[in-house]
């Protein structure tokens, strides 16, 4: 009997420990499609009306170790409103968990064009469908964000503030501050930097402060390739994050080629 009770105790302890670990998983949520953003920082810019954009990528995280594959999509409802969706899939979390995260949906609306001197302003309303595995889900969530974008010469800066309410009551609300800068080093090449400060759903304080750096290459008018690396500056969790993505985005304007004919 004592042996049975001891076995039951250790089983319950194992469930408790695993539940604590997976509850600390870094949920992605909705992310921007390049080039209208940095890595996780959104730009107030949108894709053109009636146009579709797609992005696919991989994120490799160390300590904790896992891989995140994802597919993003966006549709331009108007030149200032777009619908976004993100479908992430996780592999090798703690060397034993694979499965989907919650699917994220959202609407981004640029409600103010700053023109030459002011910033562009947009808001983002988003929600997650409780479609992920137990290890990678908060049973859905909904949120609201404010986005600011300003260009100064070859530099373009973005600032985001997001609030997220998890679908599970036992989890904490999330608050995120993000800032990013892109520097146009050439007509088809940008240097990227981003800082993220986040109070996650498993913490009551800002437990993630991560810096990210990388570059983006515009290989054609429609294709953008982004490579980056991130480091957590507070808890070293993750110790590093490697990101690679390819996006297919229609340009805002198609260059018109004027043909000049000479009379003979």
Q: What is the pLDDT of residues 70-112, one digit of tens each?
A: 999 999 999 999 999 999 999 998 888 899 999 999 999 999 9
| Amino acid 257: pLDDT | 46
Contact 23, 203 (CB under 8 A): no
Task: Give CA–CA dist 161/172, Å, rounded.
Answer: 17
Element (H, E) at 16: helix 2-23
Task: Give CA–CA dist 224/247, Å, rounded.
Answer: 5
CA 98, distance to chain mean position in Å, is 20
| Amino acid 236: pLDDT | 76
Which among 136, 113, 106, 103 is positioned nearest to 42, based on CA atoms? 106
Q: What is the DSSP track for 57-93?
A: EEEEEETTTEEEEEEEEEEESSSSEEEEEEEEEEEEE
Contact 106, 129 (CB under 8 A): no
User: Which of the pair, 152 or 234, is modelled with greater confidence?
Assistant: 152
List the domain boundaries for the chain: 28-248
| Amino acid 24: pLDDT | 61
Q: Is residue 44 predicted with pLDDT exceeding 50?
A: yes
Among the residue ranges 19-23, 159-163, 257-261, the one predicted with the least confidence is 19-23
Q: What are phi and psi of 140, to 5 degrees?
A: 80, 170
Reported as a pLDDT band with limits 50, 70 and 90, residue 1 is low
Q: Is residue 143 predicted with pLDDT exceeding 70?
A: yes
pLDDT, mean of residues 25-53: 93
CATH domain 28-248 topology: Porin (2.40.160)
Which of the residue ranges 25-39, 161-175, 213-227, 238-252 has the most confident prediction, judged by mean pLDDT?
213-227
> Residue 153: exposed, middle, or buried by beta-carbon count in 10 A (0-12, 13-18, 19+)?
exposed
Q: What is the pLDDT of residues 223-258, one digit of tens each?
A: 999 999 999 998 777 889 999 999 999 886 554 445
Contact 164, 171 (CB under 8 A): no
Q: Read off the tokens for 123.
A: 């808001």
Q: In angstroms, how far is the first alpha carbon of the chain from the final one?
A: 107
| Amino acid 64: pLDDT | 86
User: Which of the pair, 234 or 156, is modelled with greater confidence?
Assistant: 156
| CB atoms closer than 10 angstroms to residue 37 | 25
pLDDT, mean of residues 132-146: 89
């Amino acid at each position: 009997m004592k042996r049975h009770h001891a076995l039951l105790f250790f089983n319950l302890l194992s469930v408790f420990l695993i539940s604590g670990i997976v509850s600390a998983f870094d949920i992605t949520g909705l992310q921007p499609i390049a080039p209208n953003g940095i890595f996780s920082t959104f730009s107030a810019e949108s894709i053109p009306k009636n146009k579709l954009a797609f992005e696919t990528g991989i994120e490799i995280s160390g300590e904790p170790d896992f891989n995140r594959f994802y597919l993003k999509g966006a549709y331009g409802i108007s030149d200032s409103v777009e619908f976004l969706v993100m479908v992430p899939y996780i592999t090798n979390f703690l060397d034993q968990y694979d499965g989907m995260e919650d699917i994220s949906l959202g609407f981004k609306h640029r409600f103010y064009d700053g023109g030459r001197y002011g910033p562009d302003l947009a808001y983002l309303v988003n929600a997650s469908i409780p479609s992920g595995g137990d290890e990678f889900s908060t049973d859905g969530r909904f949120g609201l964000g404010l986005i600011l974008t300003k260009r100064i010469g070859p530099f373009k800066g973005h600032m985001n503030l997001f609030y997220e309410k998890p679908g599970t009551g036992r989890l904490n609300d999330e608050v995120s501050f993000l800032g990013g800068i892109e520097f146009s080093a050439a007509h088809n090449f940008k240097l990227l930097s981003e800082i993220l400060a986040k109070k996650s759903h498993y913490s009551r304080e800002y437990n993630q402060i991560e810096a990210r750096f990388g570059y983006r290459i515009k290989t054609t008018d429609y294709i953008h390739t982004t490579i980056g690396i991130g480091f957590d500056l507070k808890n070293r969790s993750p110790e590093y994050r490697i990101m690679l993505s390819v996006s297919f985005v229609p340009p805002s304007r198609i260059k018109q080629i004027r043909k000049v004919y000479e009379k003979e």
